[in-house]
Amino acid sequence: MSNRQLHIVHLYPKEMNIYGDTGNTLVLRRRLEWRGIDARVTLVGIGDEIPADADIIMGGGGQDAGQDKIQADLQTKAEVLKKMSDDGVVMLMVCGMYQLFGRSFTTNEGKVIKGISLLPLETTAGPTRFIGNTLYTSGFGNIVGYENHSGVTKIDKDAERFSKVLSGAGNNGEDKSEGCRVNNVFGTYSHGPVLSKNPSFADGLLLLALERKYGVKELEPLDDNLELSAHQFAMERPR
Amino acid sequence: MRFLSLLIGKIILGFRRLSGGGSALPGLVVEKLNPGFLKQMLAQLPQGVIVVSGTNGKTTTTKTIASLLEGQGLRVLTNKSGSNFVRGIVGAVLSNSTLGGKLPFDIAVFEQDEAHAVHFVHQVRPRGVVVLNIMRDQMDRFGEIDTTAKLLQELSTSATEFVVLNSNDERVSKLNPSNGVKTFWFGHNKDLQHSFLTDDELHHLGDVSFHSAGEPLFELTDYKQGEITLNHRGKSKTLKTALSTSHNAINLMAALTTLEAALPDLDMEKVGESIMSLQPAFGRGESFKLTDGTKITLQLVKNPGGFTHSLRMLNQEPYDVIAMAINDDYADGRDVSWLWDVDFNHLEGTKTPLICGGTRGFDMAVRLKYDGAPTEHVKREIADFVEVVNLEAKGKSAMVFCTYTAMLKIRSLYQKESSEVYGVEV
């Protein structure tokens, strides 16, 4: 495995960097290194190009001010990202970036911010803020996380939801859906950072990327005792 | 109206005390009865009101300013940590005033978080405002950093005589007082840049640049256990003090600057004496010595800036054991994602035993693992955690980083056990 390498790109670490979501990139990097696979991390900011050989693209939540700053730049990257999505590149977008990967975000004042339409969904700022610990069930098993958003996200009927809400609000607090998936692009409201306490999700993303690049069918197991304990105890905490 | 509201407030206060209740209710009632109460009462203070705000260090700085002013012979009214709602201040005024409506103090120093400070200054314009730093706090409790800066701008504008600002914090240094109001700076010199960081450096993963907006009245130039060196009006002084951790030392600079701003004819000899007897606030660099000689230091951590800053202190002051207790009760903040915005890189491969604890002890251990720092023990129960810390650090020293509710529990355990609470080790 020693010659293998994945190129992880983290979008807008400067502007979209609250809630510790950059931790997801660290989790992926370490879990590759522990298996003897090289991890190359590139931070992509406003005006930077997305490297053409990206295997995994990550994005996180930000402040309103951060979201304002990146919108226009994200539009210039829309076409490249769409091609990469069709090509099976793995992406994980959390909270603010999840919303901007949809078609639009409508603010409290009724202003419509254009997204890049990679995910079939629309978000409207709602009257209540959804805050608290969350538990979802997904194709990667149970997902523990923390949500903090006022966005109400509605996904197209036939689109694939990332997970089902067991506890928390999820996409909109109504239909028990959480997140979205198109090709290998995942969107979710889960912070935590989400990959830190859900090693099956982290490895699921790595396997998708390694399979696409090298045809890998299985990952070498790691000692996840600490991560699984953190996962277990997070499930027991109140909302 | 003042006397009626005072009387009713005091009666409620008395009943609340008998029933063991807090100080919020009397404040609430008095505010409703007489919205001008606070303004009328505080107007009696000949030396006015000073408000201390910022993300980190409010409690220590407020306590230090109060002690230094008392050292100059002034009677100082202050609010207890944690009661920094306007109502908490009404409560402090109520319980410290006479039935005749007299407030027998010379000056007041109030700790206020950003949002409450703005409410407070709408009622009472302070003589002086102190702003320590602007950092990202836990996002589930406070808004966004730019909003915070706006609140602190409003606070700064409200000062009638002086503002005391951190010269090294770019956001703080951009705050503008009203016309005719004097600005006094505090800060540290360039050599100590590695010990202090701004919020932007913390999040940008990039360059560390030294920012200095103005010449500090009191400038920290060195610190080590039990001793600090500062520069004041071109003279270098080395002082013995228990406030010698990096946080406490920089907060001491803020306090000294405030003291000189408030009392221009300062008795410097008395200041020196006061500094010798200052003690760290509750859980902020506070030390306990156990009967077997073990020394335990507690450091409260609340947000990425404060935690990262505290970790840098380890470069200056080594400990034999490093422990971290992370709870996620409401007062700690339920969300522990912020631990991933803290940089633990320099603990990579450390030989120092690491112990994690609290309801989110495993989250902490996972965080350390991904920065290459292996944890020896994880104990969710604080009592078990303290037992392991004592065992590992037996006869040596341990630094315990803890969130608020973890700190309260750990502190009460050590208070039972320790032979003395001490600050200075000479």
Q: A163 lies in which domain range?
A: 5-236
Chain B: give the shortest CA distance to residue A78, in Å.
24
Helices (H) and strands (E) in chain A, counts: 5, 12
Contact present, A178 and A194 (Cβ < 8 Å): no
> What does the pLDDT read at residue A50?
97
What pLDDT shows up at residue B202?
65
Which is catalytic among the residues A95, A149, A180, A231?
Answer: A95
Percent of chain B residues topping a pLDDT of 70? 89
Mean pLDDT of B204-221: 81
pLDDT for the residue B15:
64
Identify the H or E element spanning B364. helix B361-370
- Nearest-neighbour CA in chain A from B346: distance (Å): 16
Nearest CB to A146; choose among B144, B335, B365: B335
Contact B137, B55 (CB under 8 A): yes
Length of chain B: 426
Q: At B1, is the pLDDT very low, low, confident or very high (cuts 50, 70, 90)?
A: low
Q: Is residue A103 a contact partner of residue A122, using CB atoms and an 8 Å limit?
A: yes
pLDDT, one tens digit per residue, over B386-423 is: 999 999 999 999 999 999 999 999 999 998 776 655 54
Whole-number pLDDT of residue B23: 53
pTM: 0.82
| DSSP conformational letter for B124 | -
Q: How many whole angstroms separate alpha carbon A102 and alpha carbon B207?
A: 34
CB contact at 8 A, B172 and B132: yes
Count of domains forming chain A: 1
* Alpha-helical segments (H) within chain A: 22-33, 64-86, 96-100, 199-214, 225-236
- Which residue numbers in chain A have pLDDT < 50? 1
Residue B425 above 50 pLDDT?
no
Q: How confident is the model at residue B18 (pLDDT cuts 50, 70, 90)?
A: low
Identify the structural domains of chain B with CATH numbers, from first to last: 2-277 (3.40.1190.10), 284-422 (3.90.190.20)
B369 contacts in A (CB within 8 Å)? 226
Distances (CA, A) of B386 to A230, B109, B302, B347: 20, 35, 20, 21
Q: Is B291 buried (19+), middle (13-18) or exposed (0-12) by CB count in 10 A?
A: exposed
The pLDDT assigned to B247 comes to 87
Closest CA–CA distance from residue B341 to any residue of chain A (Å): 5
- Segment B95-152, tens digit of pLDDT: 898 888 899 999 999 999 888 899 999 999 999 999 999 887 655 444 567 788 899 9
**DSSP assignment of B125-165, as one string?**
--SEEEE-------TTTS--HHHHHHHHHHHHHH-SSEEEE
Residue contact B335–A197, C-beta within 8 A: no
The DSSP 8-state label assigned to residue B51 in this structure reads E
Contact residues on chain A for B336, CB-CB shorter than 8 A = 146, 192
B205 touching A (Cβ < 8 Å): yes
Question: For residue A151, which of A194, A117, A102 has the smallest C-alpha distance?
Answer: A102
The per-residue pLDDT for range B7-16, each reduced to its tens digit, is 777 777 766 6
Catalytic residue flag (residue A95): yes
ipTM topping 0.90 = yes
A159 in the Ramachandran plot: left (φ > 0), alpha (ψ -120 to 50) or beta?
beta
Q: What is the rounded distance in angstroms from the CA atom of residue B155 to the CA atom of residue B153?
A: 5
Query: Would the pLDDT of B36 be above 90?
Result: no
Q: How far is CA B61 from CA A9, A42, B401, in A?
A: 42, 41, 20
Per-residue tokens: A114: 């254009």
Q: Sorting pLDDT into bands at 50, 70 and 90, what band is B194?
A: confident
CB-CB neighbours of B381 under 10 Å: 13
Q: State residue B34's pLDDT score.
A: 80
pLDDT at B95: 85
pLDDT score for B426:
25
Judged against a pLDDT cut of 50, whether residue B279 lies above it is answered with: yes
Q: What is the predicted pLDDT for the residue at A97?
A: 96
Q: Which is the catalytic residue, given A10, A149, A191, A231?
A: A191
Answer whether A74's CB lies under 8 Å from A16's CB: no
Of the pLDDT bands very low, low, confident and very high (cuts 50, 70, 90), residue B331 is confident
Is the CB of residue B387 less than 8 Å away from at least one CB of chain A? Answer: no
- B37-B40-B44-B47 Cα dihedral, nearest 10 degrees: 90
CA dist A46 and A69 (Å) reads: 8
User: What distance in Å separates the CA atoms of residue B122 and residue B209, rounded to the nearest whole number?
Assistant: 36
CB < 8 Å from A in window 227-256 of B = none
Query: And the tokens for A168?
Result: 């928390």
> What contacts A44, CB < 8 A, 6 or more positions away?
A9, A10, A11, A12, A50, A51
Q: What is the pLDDT of residues A113-168, one digit of tens each?
A: 999 999 999 999 999 889 999 999 999 999 999 999 999 999 999 999 999 999 99
pLDDT for B21 beyond 60 = no
Q: Which residues are paired to A148 by β-bridges?
A: A131
pLDDT, residue B17, reads 60
Q: Which tens digits make up the pLDDT trace of B182-191?
A: 999 999 999 9
| Residue A160 φ then ψ, to 5° | -85, 125
CATH of the domain at A161: 3.40.50.880
Residues on chain B touching A191 (C-beta within 8 angstroms): 335, 337
Rounded mean pLDDT of chain B?
Answer: 87
